Structure 1
Amino acid sequence: MVVNVTDFKASLSGAEPASNLDAPLAALWWAAKGNWDQAHGIAQDEETSEAAWVHAYLHRVEGDIGNAGYWYRKAGKPAATGALDAEWEEIVQALLASRRV
């Protein structure tokens, strides 16, 4: 079970994302595994602000900054300009923290 970033990173050794990951986190899992298409397919099928944030990140990875900007606005987030790895970790941390009750 994934409950923190360390667990999330450790789960990357598996063949599939952990069963307790929702769509935005699963998309980030696939992105970390280098499967942009799988990650994008998951993110674009969700209509939450969290999925929009992941979708923005994925378009930034792709190099499509204009499209990324659209998705950052949909997510209500400022457009990221820092390192992609740092943004990935920031999103993972934020999404995992929002699931703790």
Structure 2
Amino acid sequence: MDLERDEPEAGLTPPEQALWWVAKGGFAVGPAWERAHEIAQASEGVAAYDRVHALLHWIEGDRSNSDYWYRRAGKARAGADPRADWEAQVADLQRA
């Protein structure tokens, strides 16, 4: 993912775009996090979106809400920190 760009590159799926925004925003709550959250909320109930949603609430520090979204996605956290989970999500989406 090219984070030097102002917008996600063409061809990324919405969950990949959300993950791009997460990284672009430095894994912190702010405008990029908000963009990612809007994407994640757009298709609640779809596992890839719910997993991104879980990551976002982990970054936000809302662990119980994050746990809820991981359960809905049918996935557990990958790694000890949000960046590790981000990497796992990117890899999983690229394999899909």
Q: TM-score, normalised by structure 1?
A: 0.83
Change in Cα spacing, 1:69 to 1:44, as seen in structure 2 (3 Å) is same
Q: Taking every aligned residue pair, what percent have the same amino acid on both sides? A: 46
Q: TM-score, normalised by structure 2?
A: 0.87
The aligned length equals 89
Root-mean-square deviation (CA), in Å? Answer: 1.2
For residue 13 of structure 2, the aligned residue among 22, 26, 30 is: 22
Which contiguous aligned blocks of 4+ residues in structure 1 show a shift greater than 3 angstroms? none
1:4-15 equivalent positions in 2, closer than 5 A: 8=1, 11-15=2-6
Match of 2:89 in 1: 91
1:52–1:75: 8 Å Cα contact kept in structure 2? Answer: yes
Q: Which has the higher contact order (CA 8 A, sep 6+)?
A: 1
Match of 1:4 in 2: none
Structure 2 residue 37 is the aligned partner of structure 1 residue 40: yes
Q: Select the structure of larger CA radius of gyration.
A: 1
Note the residue ranges of structure 1 that are not aligned, 5 or more in a row. 1-7
